[in-house]
Structures are given as structure tokens and as C-alpha cells.
Amino acid sequence: MKRSKRYKSITEKVGTEKSFGLEEGVEILKETASAKFDESVDIAVRLGVDPKKADQAVRGTVALPHGTGKNIRVLVLCKAPKDKEAKEAGADYVGLEEYIKKIEEGWSDVDAIVATPDVMKEVGKLGRYLGRKGLMPNPKAGTVTFEVGEAVKQLKAGRIEFRVDRYGNIHAVVGKVSFPKEKLVENIKVLMEQILRLRPASAKGQYVRNVTLSSTMGPGIKIDRTALLEAIR
């Protein structure tokens, strides 16, 4: 892949084999981010699990204390009177039949979908449209609930869902480059604490194997896993 001069100069500064402490890594990420927009900060965590085994498919949610910096668009699929509760909580879209039809026609201009349990029979048929986009409501993620107001507030405030992919990696957005270093560090620590809590009992050996930070347009910055784990324990 052909890389720009900007990307190459950043890579030279970061190095390919170096690893950094969390705070130093965040500082370098902020210093080297030079895109003309406020880049997102992404984290990739390589886990020592076998995602093919159901009991090792790590998945969860976490409320980032400082959010992601992104305006989360939330759709709530429900019937009255829950629609009023959802609107009052700040949901961007609220309804049922009309949105089921729109989704079947290809619409997916949202970041999260909440549904009440009583409509899941209708919502269930949207699996082939929403599943591959990671938008299907799920009780484990707290997005199938009668407490729609609380779910909407949490999503808007920065609650994110994460899951291990088929290669054993977890990817998540933990903020924006414009965030102060301290806020990014705290968000990352809170996410890592939750990932550690979800360690499967059947997972053997080293659980967290690699941690890498990157901005939207930047190269990966390796974080010293040992130092990171010691800092959050």
C-alpha cells in the first residue's frame, strides 16, 4: 500500500517495534495527529481466547466516563406509551412499523438501536439487515429493555458495546484526539478494567496479549501491556 509522506514521517517517529507506557503513548498519539479534522482515538486489544468457543466469545458494554466525543444517534423501537419516555430521554428516532420498513429498504442512519422486549418478535426479522452492522438489539448489551429512557441516556453519555472478533481482537473508540490526555487515559483504563472482568474462566495462558492505540489517520502505537495491566490493577 502506498503511504503518504505524512504517514511515513509519523511512523518513523513512533517506530514499528517500540512499545510505550499508556500516558506516553497517548501523548505521542496526540502529537502525531495532524489531520485537518478531529480524529477518533481507537484501541485494539488482542486477547488470548478462542472466539469459536461460545464461552470465550468476550462481549460486553462499558460507560466511558468522558464519552467518545461522538454524537450518538439512537433509534428506539417500541409502542406507546414507551415512545414518550424515549423521546423525553433524547432518542433521535422513535417508532416501530415505519422504521422496520425503512430498515428493510436499506436505511441504517443510526449508531445504536434500543427495543422493548414486547416488540422483539417484529424486530427479530431485521437480523439479516442489522446483524452484520452490529446494530441488532441484544439483552446482553442492554439494548433490549423496557427501561428505554435509561438506555438512551447511557448511550448518549458514552456507553459503548464491544465484542471480540473472529481473530481474537476487540476494537473500540475511546475518544477524540482533542480530548485532554487525562480523559483519554481514564477512558482507556475503564475499558480495560471491564475487559479484564470479562475474562472467560476457560481461557488459558496470557489473556491480554497486545494493546495498540491509533488515531483515524495515524499508524498504530504499541502500548506496553505489562505496564498497562499493572497501572489498572
Report pLDDT for 124: 94
> Which alpha helices (H) appear in the chain, and where do they start and end?
5-14, 22-32, 82-89, 97-104, 120-123, 127-130, 148-157, 181-197, 225-232
CB atoms within 10 A of CB 139: 11
Q: Rounded CA gap, 224 and 233, in Å?
A: 15
* Predicted confidence (pLDDT) per residue in 137-151, tens digit: 999 889 999 999 999
Q: Distance between terminal CA atoms of the chain?
A: 39
* Predicted confidence (pLDDT) per residue in 57-108, tens digit: 999 999 999 999 999 999 999 999 999 999 999 999 999 999 999 999 999 9
Residue in 80, 75, 71, 107 with CA at minimum distance from that of residue 94: 75
Q: Which residues of the chain have pLDDT under 70?
A: 1-17
Look up the pTM and report it.
0.82
User: What length is written for the chain?
Assistant: 233
Residue in 181, 164, 170 with CA at minimum distance from that of residue 211: 170
Report pLDDT for 20: 93
Residue 80 CB contacts under 8 Å (≥ 6 apart), including other chains: none
- Which grid coordinates belong to 111? 449508531
List domains and CATH numbers for the chain.
5-67+159-232 (3.30.190.20), 74-157 (3.40.50.790)
